[in-house]
Structure 1
């Protein structure tokens, strides 16, 4: 399991260009799953029902997870649209991203090389306009601790930029926190050391949000 953060789109992007009388409209969007990628592609298709082609590609998870990649030439000659689109996306290092390139043909044939350049180039230009944010991979931990240790625990939670998700107060305090996976080992060690091994830390990996 890869715990490293990765880049995702911060917002949608549209890039338009005219090549030999054909209008190419490239749209990028943040799509965290295959279903959301397909819904985005369908929404663009509905916007451009009169277009000759709505070619697309998506990377619907971590950038390197090819199990979540997809593409379509949408009636363009095989290999001239979907693959060049996906090649740009998969090479960008950005995850959870979809691209749809809409083509309104102007009647001049571009040839296979021209199509590859147009579709891949549109996505390349759109990617230059894209702003990204970092997606951190998080998990949830349950902390069991005495009331006297609460101030120290809260200080460590803040120090490790964790979020308190749930708190139950009875004989002892039970906290559920969300924390970046990369920091779990250091956080656990710190809380055990500072509590004299009295604080209990348990992973709730089954409930993690990733």
Structure 2
């Protein structure tokens, strides 16, 4: 798994008007191609009376899946510019649909490329660009006598913390960045003077700064 990647926080939509044509950029974070195609179909159904619903998506750690559609616009004037916006902004796991309601004025190939580019940029602005960082779950088990010190140190070092389980001992689910996981485990061992039991859980992505 990669250490971090840029994507959008949420689904969003934003409209722009160019020479009386309405362009509505829609964006959605997606984890796989099935989610991307379902999103595109939903947008097409929701805007069934639009002139065009052009789309593109990019998925995978190495951008393995890249698809685009001009949906009836001249070849290369819609889907490709949308895909280029995703690529140029360095985003992963994102699907975009730009819906067009024709306003009666022809834009020409260059005008269409600019319009669909602007529509894709507007969509990303609506979805909010974020950085998702890989974290490693580290389960720290200690006696109750260590709880106050461990919690205080975690708070002082601004370590992300998940659940805490209370049985005969206390288990705190800590979530340091994956790149810092080994150093974190050593730090816990030193801090608790070797009186902790450490195990690893899942690897999860979280939005940077939250």
Quick check: 1:160–1:187 contact (8 Å CA) kept in 2?
Answer: no
User: Per-residue deviation at 1:60?
Assistant: 4.1
State the aligned residue count: 204
Alignment of 1:136-175 (within 5 A): 136-158=133-155, 159-170=157-168, 172-175=169-172
Instruction: Tell me: CA distance 1:107–1:13, structure 2 relative to 1, closer, same or farther (3 Å).
Output: closer
**How far apart are residue 37 of structure 1 and its match?**
2.8
Distance 1:156-1:35 versus aligned 2 partners, 3 A rule: farther
The corresponding residue for 2:208 is: none
Counterpart in the other structure of 1:59: 58
Cα displacement (A) at 1:10 = 5.2
Query: 2:76 aligned to 55, 79, 96, which one?
Result: 79
1:184 is the counterpart of 2:197: no
Residues 44, 134 of structure 1: CA spacing in aligned structure 2 closer, same or farther, 3 A cutoff? same
TM-score (structure 1 length as normaliser): 0.79
Kindly indicate whether residue 34 of structure 2 is the aligned counterpart of residue 39 of structure 1: no
CA shift in 2, pair 1:187/1:99, >3 Å: same
Residue 209 in structure 1 maps to residue 204 in structure 2? yes
2:26 aligned partner: 27
Does residue 1:97 correspond to 2:88, yes or no? no
Instruction: Report the secondary structure of 1:49's partner residue.
Output: coil
Computed over aligned residues only, the root mean square deviation of the Cα atoms, in angstroms, reads 2.8
Provide closer, same or farther for how the CA distance between residues 145 and 68 of structure 1 changes in structure 2, counting only shifts above 3 A: farther
Equivalent residues of 1:167, 1:174 under 8 A apart: yes
Change (3 A) 1:160 1:126: same
Deviations 1:36-65 (A, max 9, x none): 333322221112111221001123466xx3
How many angstroms does 1:33 deviate by? 4.2
Contact between 1:9 and 1:133, CA under 8 Å: does it hold in 2?
A: yes
Which residue does 2:116 correspond to in 1?
A: 119
* Change in CA separation of 1:68 and 1:153 when aligned onto 2, cut-off 3 Å: farther
- Judge conservation of contact 1:156–1:187 (CA < 8 Å) in 2: no
Distance 1:187 1:198 in 2: 15
| Preserved contact between residue 24 and residue 103 of structure 1 (Cα < 8 Å) | yes
Instruction: Say whether the 8 Å CA contact 2:82–2:117 is kept in structure 1.
Output: yes
Flag structure 1 segments of 5+ consecutive residues without an equivalent: none
